[in-house]
Chain A
Amino acid sequence: MTGGEPSRRASRRLRLAGLSAAAALLALGCQPARPKVFNPDGLAGPRIDPPLPKPDFLLRDTEGRPFDFRKQTEGYITLLFLGYTHCPDVCPVHLANIAAALGKLSPEVNNAVKVVFVTTDPARDTPEVVRVWLDKFDRRFIGLVGDSVAIRGVLSQLRLGPITREAVPGDSTYYIGHAAIVMAFTRDNLAHVVYPFGVRQADWAKDLELLAKGG
């Protein structure tokens, strides 16, 4: 064996390793982070077919005033989300992303959109608790509270499953199991599209602009 043989072999191996690593990283870099749901309207959220009618319910807002959902959101793009303030993951991320996207959009789009949060945890979410929590995201977000019977009625109109209560291991508190979707009702009082958890701020911004323009 010649003296240059090991170095030639090592050089070949280095080139191969380098090429493989570069190819693997480039391939990974080209993959989208999360699968996009196909929607013919170019929206990030999946389309619901047939569209869901806007529910008709009366709850109380965080000031204690009655809030007629159908009537008071008439003519607006309305994002409806049911969650709870002690939620450790989905709820704050959804609301933070919507707030961040709205913060980047024009006043016209902002004036065309109403975000309504309905608590699924009436035992802990008093109107004051909900208000303080929503204010961390956006003071314009509307918070609604009601007893469990009223909340069940809202869920039933939205064809969502019942809420569940799960004990936190090693703790006296509990989590609430609930649908993690935001429903987007357009001016025709129908939800053509819903937003599951995972929708990103850039997607929200693009979609809210399209929805506000009537797209």
Chain B
Amino acid sequence: MQWWCSATGQPWSWTWRAYPGVWLFIALLGAWYWGANRRAPRPPSRTELAWFLTGLASNWIALDWPIGALGAGYLASFHTITYILLSFVAPPCLILGLSEAVVRRTLERPRWAWWLRLAARPWLAMAAFNAIVLLTHVPGVVDTLMVSQPGALLIDLAWLVGGLLLWWPVMAPSPEVVRLQRPMKMAYLFLSTLAPIIPSAFLTFADYPLYATYELAPRIFPVLTARQDQQVAGLLMKLVGDLPVWFGFGVIFFRWAREGERTPPPIHPDAIRNTPY
């Protein structure tokens, strides 16, 4: 039995398969959330709980059968769906699920506080996210790691950690951690969409399949060639992968605009002087 989805070279079957490592991982995330909230002064709100559960569900969908299995060893397009879910969908949901009380309590512990503040440094977070995105799409890395379960786990965890790093500086639910002003948050999100252009362009425009894992995998849909599958992966990476980032960008922009409307404009001294009593 496999505990984590990896490339096996076996013909694909639509018969359900169990991946206990994925369940254990999801259970550990859930247990951590439950434990963290139990120690916090107030329980999470319904909205926070809903966000966290959505994040957990996104992780589960990305990692378990069939999407996780298809992405690990058969189709580059599904590998990209896993990447999008783990880097762009699950992390913001998990962060939105954290209450300020949980983060504040964590900040009371010096070692954790140091890590949380370090992760909130935008340039560092962006550099780490970009490095993860670029390295985990190098053909040699993918072909070497995806054939083993620890290797596939490493790539999946790298995407999740990269996603958490990407979103933490703009979404952490504590002003003690997030220091970026709204325009800077938008600039940060915009810049973060640039690095994935490189692998997505290679995937979309390469003459030949880049990854042996997917080129030599047993075909699932005979109409979809390995190169077409790779092109779909490249397009998904750029067009769909950017959507959550642009959604976040839009939310920040409209909040900023609304804030501007509420703030009264500064009064010119002449206006006061010319006002008749």
Contact = CB atoms under 8 A, between A and B. Distances in A.
Contacts of A31: 140, 144
Contacts of A205: 208
Contact of B143 (A6, A30, A33, A93): A33
Interface in B204-219: 207-209, 211-213, 215-219
Contacts of B118: 14
Given A25-B135, A28-B141, A33-B144, A104 B207 contact: yes
Interface stretch (A59-67, A121-129, A155-163, A194-202): A194-202
Contacts of B216: 93, 197-198, 200
B222 A136 contact: yes
A29 B215 contact: no
Interface in B196-251: 207-209, 211-213, 215-219, 222-223, 225-227
A50 interface: no
Contacts of B207: 104, 202
Contacts of B265: none
Interface string A170-203: 0000000000000000000000000001101110
A26 B213 CA distance: 19
A100 to B, nearest CB: 6
A28 B45 CA distance: 44
Given A10-B114, A104-B207, A93 B140 contact: no
Given A89-B218, A200-B215, A6 B140 contact: no
Interface residues of A, number: 29
A28 B211 CA distance: 14
Interface of A: 6-7, 10, 14, 22, 25-26, 28-34, 88-89, 92-93, 96-97, 100, 104, 136, 197-198, 200-202, 205
26 contacts: A25-B138, A28-B140, A28-B144, A29-B140, A29-B141, A30-B140, A31-B140, A33-B140, A33-B143, A33-B211, A34-B143, A88-B12, A88-B218, A89-B218, A92-B218, A93-B219, A97-B215, A100-B225, A100-B226, A136-B222, A197-B216, A200-B216, A201-B208, A201-B215, A201-B226, A201-B227
